[in-house]
Amino acid sequence: MNKYVSVISIFLLSLCIITQNAGAEGLFGLGLISGEPTGVSAKYWTGTNTAIDGGIAWSFAEDAHLHIHADWLHHNWSFLKEKFEVEQGEIPLYYGIGGRIRFDDDARVGARFVFGMAYIWDNAPFDVFLEIAPILDLTPETEVNGNIAIGLRYWFK
């Protein structure tokens, strides 16, 4: 139990530091993800097309467990906007790579390969997103898993 408290504390402290740095630029979003896993999601824009996201969540799959992930993401702003003829807001397609730690009886560490899309409102500080993330667990044994989730974030300005 102590390791869960330590990991959650480090994650929350990191969010506080990122929020302070985002300031008035509106580069930091915080919200909820629902699916596999379900919990809290954060995203920090590092450039026009790149961002870092992370989550701390609970998996309700076979053997319930705590899940923490972080990803580097690249966004394509035009592909989906042209396909869906979106006139208001933005609808980026994104992909990236990251890591995941899963805490259960045999803690697992793996690589995430993220694919998703989001809708970012023009006149509201929110976005919604859907993402799929195949996972290659590397320890304690090699195994393929995956995550799928839908989420909503509030963007701080």
- List the domains of the chain with CATH numbers: 2-156 (2.40.160.20)
pLDDT category at 82 given cuts 50, 70, 90 is: confident
Q: What is the mean pLDDT of the chain?
A: 86
List own/partner pairs for 71-79 with CB under 8 A and 24 or more apart.
71/96, 71/97, 71/98, 71/99, 71/112, 71/114, 71/133, 72/96, 72/97, 72/98, 73/114, 73/116, 74/49, 74/50, 75/49, 75/50, 75/51, 76/49, 77/49
pLDDT at 24 (0 to 100): 31
Share of the chain above pLDDT 90, in %: 69
pLDDT at 133 (0 to 100): 98
Flag whether pLDDT at 130 surpasses 50.
yes
Flag whether pLDDT at 78 surpasses 50.
yes
